Amino acid sequence: MKRAIFLSVIVASAAVFILVPKAGANETEECSLADIQGTYAYTLTGTITDGSNAGPLAAVGRLTFDGQGNIFGRDTISINGHVTRGRTYAGTYRVNPDCTYSTVILDSLGQEQIGDYVIVNHEELRAIRANETNVVTLNLKRVRRPRGGN
Protein backbone atom coordinates (compact mmCIF):
# COMPACT_ATOMS: atom_id res chain seq x y z
CA MET A 1 0.00 0.00 0.00
CA LYS A 2 2.80 2.43 0.93
CA ARG A 3 4.59 1.55 -2.29
CA ALA A 4 1.42 2.28 -4.35
CA ILE A 5 1.00 5.67 -2.64
CA PHE A 6 4.71 6.48 -3.15
CA LEU A 7 4.48 5.57 -6.87
CA SER A 8 1.29 7.65 -7.23
CA VAL A 9 3.05 10.68 -5.71
CA ILE A 10 6.05 10.21 -8.05
CA VAL A 11 3.80 9.88 -11.14
CA ALA A 12 1.70 12.92 -10.11
CA SER A 13 4.82 14.99 -9.46
CA ALA A 14 6.30 14.01 -12.83
CA ALA A 15 3.03 14.90 -14.58
CA VAL A 16 3.00 18.37 -12.99
CA PHE A 17 6.63 18.93 -13.97
CA ILE A 18 6.00 17.86 -17.58
CA LEU A 19 2.58 19.45 -18.12
CA VAL A 20 3.00 22.82 -16.40
CA PRO A 21 4.81 25.27 -18.69
CA LYS A 22 7.66 27.42 -17.57
CA ALA A 23 6.22 30.27 -15.49
CA GLY A 24 8.10 32.96 -17.39
CA ALA A 25 11.46 34.45 -17.91
CA ASN A 26 13.60 34.73 -14.80
CA GLU A 27 16.02 37.54 -14.07
CA THR A 28 19.02 35.72 -15.56
CA GLU A 29 17.35 34.62 -18.79
CA GLU A 30 17.79 36.71 -21.91
CA CYS A 31 15.44 36.58 -24.89
CA SER A 32 16.06 36.99 -28.62
CA LEU A 33 14.14 37.16 -31.93
CA ALA A 34 14.31 33.38 -32.23
CA ASP A 35 12.55 32.82 -28.87
CA ILE A 36 9.16 33.86 -30.25
CA GLN A 37 9.67 32.69 -33.83
CA GLY A 38 6.63 30.76 -35.05
CA THR A 39 2.90 31.11 -35.64
CA TYR A 40 0.45 32.14 -32.92
CA ALA A 41 -3.33 32.22 -32.60
CA TYR A 42 -4.64 35.23 -30.70
CA THR A 43 -7.61 37.04 -29.25
CA LEU A 44 -7.76 40.78 -28.82
CA THR A 45 -10.41 42.58 -26.77
CA GLY A 46 -10.81 46.16 -25.74
CA THR A 47 -12.56 49.47 -26.09
CA ILE A 48 -12.01 52.44 -28.35
CA THR A 49 -12.69 55.44 -26.12
CA ASP A 50 -12.62 58.31 -28.60
CA GLY A 51 -13.55 59.18 -32.19
CA SER A 52 -16.06 57.89 -34.71
CA ASN A 53 -15.22 54.24 -33.93
CA ALA A 54 -15.71 54.59 -30.14
CA GLY A 55 -17.05 51.36 -28.68
CA PRO A 56 -16.06 47.70 -28.26
CA LEU A 57 -13.14 46.19 -30.14
CA ALA A 58 -12.48 42.47 -30.65
CA ALA A 59 -10.44 40.31 -33.02
CA VAL A 60 -9.30 36.73 -33.49
CA GLY A 61 -6.54 35.67 -35.85
CA ARG A 62 -3.13 34.19 -36.52
CA LEU A 63 0.24 35.88 -36.81
CA THR A 64 3.75 34.76 -37.58
CA PHE A 65 7.07 36.02 -36.20
CA ASP A 66 9.72 34.99 -38.77
CA GLY A 67 12.75 35.01 -36.44
CA GLN A 68 14.35 37.82 -38.49
CA GLY A 69 12.30 40.73 -37.07
CA ASN A 70 9.34 40.57 -39.48
CA ILE A 71 5.72 39.89 -38.52
CA PHE A 72 2.66 39.21 -40.66
CA GLY A 73 -0.85 37.94 -40.08
CA ARG A 74 -4.55 37.86 -40.81
CA ASP A 75 -7.64 38.21 -38.63
CA THR A 76 -11.29 39.06 -38.32
CA ILE A 77 -11.86 42.26 -36.38
CA SER A 78 -14.97 43.97 -35.03
CA ILE A 79 -14.68 47.70 -34.43
CA ASN A 80 -17.80 49.01 -32.68
CA GLY A 81 -19.89 46.31 -34.36
CA HIS A 82 -18.44 46.76 -37.86
CA VAL A 83 -16.86 43.42 -38.79
CA THR A 84 -13.96 43.11 -41.24
CA ARG A 85 -12.99 39.59 -42.25
CA GLY A 86 -9.58 38.88 -43.72
CA ARG A 87 -7.79 41.97 -42.44
CA THR A 88 -4.09 41.48 -43.16
CA TYR A 89 -1.07 43.19 -41.69
CA ALA A 90 2.71 43.18 -41.78
CA GLY A 91 5.46 44.93 -39.89
CA THR A 92 8.49 44.49 -37.72
CA TYR A 93 9.22 43.34 -34.18
CA ARG A 94 12.08 43.65 -31.74
CA VAL A 95 12.79 41.38 -28.75
CA ASN A 96 14.62 42.87 -25.78
CA PRO A 97 17.00 40.93 -23.52
CA ASP A 98 14.51 41.39 -20.61
CA CYS A 99 11.94 39.27 -22.53
CA THR A 100 9.69 42.13 -23.57
CA TYR A 101 9.08 42.83 -27.22
CA SER A 102 7.64 45.59 -29.38
CA THR A 103 5.96 45.74 -32.77
CA VAL A 104 5.22 48.29 -35.48
CA ILE A 105 2.48 47.01 -37.81
CA LEU A 106 0.51 48.50 -40.73
CA ASP A 107 -2.79 46.78 -41.48
CA SER A 108 -4.90 46.58 -44.65
CA LEU A 109 -7.30 49.17 -43.18
CA GLY A 110 -4.45 51.70 -43.21
CA GLN A 111 -4.04 51.72 -39.42
CA GLU A 112 -0.63 51.64 -37.78
CA GLN A 113 -0.37 49.56 -34.61
CA ILE A 114 2.51 50.14 -32.20
CA GLY A 115 2.75 48.05 -29.05
CA ASP A 116 4.95 46.70 -26.26
CA TYR A 117 4.42 43.19 -24.94
CA VAL A 118 5.68 40.56 -22.48
CA ILE A 119 6.87 37.04 -23.25
CA VAL A 120 5.21 34.79 -20.67
CA ASN A 121 6.91 31.45 -21.35
CA HIS A 122 8.01 31.30 -25.01
CA GLU A 123 4.68 29.63 -25.86
CA GLU A 124 2.39 32.46 -24.75
CA LEU A 125 2.60 36.21 -25.13
CA ARG A 126 0.52 38.86 -23.34
CA ALA A 127 -0.08 42.55 -23.81
CA ILE A 128 -2.12 45.47 -22.62
CA ARG A 129 -2.10 48.67 -24.59
CA ALA A 130 -3.70 51.74 -23.09
CA ASN A 131 -3.55 55.26 -24.46
CA GLU A 132 -5.82 58.27 -24.88
CA THR A 133 -7.98 56.55 -27.53
CA ASN A 134 -8.15 52.85 -26.61
CA VAL A 135 -7.57 50.12 -24.07
CA VAL A 136 -6.74 46.70 -25.54
CA THR A 137 -5.57 43.35 -24.18
CA LEU A 138 -3.98 40.73 -26.40
CA ASN A 139 -3.37 37.04 -25.65
CA LEU A 140 -1.31 34.90 -28.03
CA LYS A 141 -0.62 31.17 -27.91
CA ARG A 142 1.91 29.41 -30.14
CA VAL A 143 0.29 26.98 -32.57
CA ARG A 144 3.31 26.20 -34.75
CA ARG A 145 7.04 26.30 -34.21
CA PRO A 146 9.36 26.90 -37.15
CA ARG A 147 10.70 23.80 -38.89
CA GLY A 148 13.64 22.51 -36.87
CA GLY A 149 12.42 24.39 -33.74
CA ASN A 150 12.30 22.85 -30.27
**Looking at residue 15, what DSSP letter applies?**
H
Those residues with Cβ within 8 angstroms of residue 136's Cβ, 6 or more apart along the chain or in another chain: 44, 45, 46, 47, 57, 127, 128, 129, 130
Q: Please state the domain extents for the chain.
A: 28-144
The pTM assigned to this predicted structure is 0.74
- Res 93: pLDDT: 94
Residue ranges of the chain with pLDDT lower than 70?
1-28, 146-150
pLDDT in tens, 92-136: 999 999 999 999 999 999 988 888 888 888 799 998 888 888 899
Local structure of 19: helix, strand or coil: helix
C-alpha–C-alpha distance, residues 58 and 75, integer Å: 10
Q: What CATH number is given for 28-144 in this structure?
A: 2.40.128.20
